[in-house]
Amino acid sequence: MWRRDAMSLHKLRYFIAVAEHQSFTRAAAAMNIAQSALSRHIAELEQAIGAPLLQRSPHGVHMTPVGRVFFDDSRGALAQVDNAFTQARLAAAGSLGSLTIGVNELSVRHPSVIDALAAFARTHPAVQLRAYMMTSIEQFRALRNRQIDAGFVIERPNDLAELDHLPVGRDDFLLALPKGMFWRLAVSYPSPRWRTNPL
């Protein structure tokens, strides 16, 4: 029965190096390991499998039929392991996965929101971005229930009190009146907020 430690990843890499270089000497140099140590690792692999993987000849080192099968599977296994490490590092850096956000009819068209989402997509290309159309009230509820990760909302101080938030952009809302009617509004409802720009 083979021991699990006999199949360590570095032994697989050593075997693949010898098979690709067709030489223990060149493989040892490429892997920065003593040739005697490399030969020992290959011998341990062959002992664990119960069959020779490599055959020496005057023309170099060649794989046996068992070695060819083991070579293909070993390369596939190492590729999966390397991919697993890459994916895990991306996930740890916040560069992999998905981000679910809420937008409303105003925010989805706002230049600041569009720019923010475009910048996020550029810097995190492996993150899947999902956007759902919701009112601000629906977004606040979804945030509390952890149904979305973030939301572009209209500011409501009472709702924001329990959430982290930062300003993204502001809109100027104008009151439009028929031409010549502004003075009536200003007289009837005086307010320093009224702008005297002609409408």
Q: Quote the crossing angle between the two packed helices 24-31 and 9-21, to the nearest 10°.
A: 130
Spell out the CATH class of 4-91.
mainly alpha
Provide the pLDDT for residue 98: 83
- Cβ neighbours for 6, distance < 8 A, ≥ 6 positions apart: 44, 45, 47, 48
Spell out the CATH class of 97-172.
alpha beta
Q: Are the C-beta atoms of 12 and 80 separated by less than 8 Å?
A: no
Report whether pLDDT(1) > 50: no
Distance CA 77, CA 69 (A): 12
The residues of the chain that CATH labels 3.40.190.10 are: 97-172
What pTM value is reported for the model?
0.50
Provide the pLDDT for residue 199: 45
Phi, psi at residue 77, to the nearest 5°? -65, -45
pLDDT per residue as tens digits for the range 137-181: 899 889 988 899 999 887 665 767 778 877 877 776 666 667 766
Phi, psi at residue 101, to the nearest 5°? -125, 160
Q: What pairs with residue 98 in β-bridges?
A: 128
The residues of the chain that CATH labels 1.10.10.10 are: 4-91
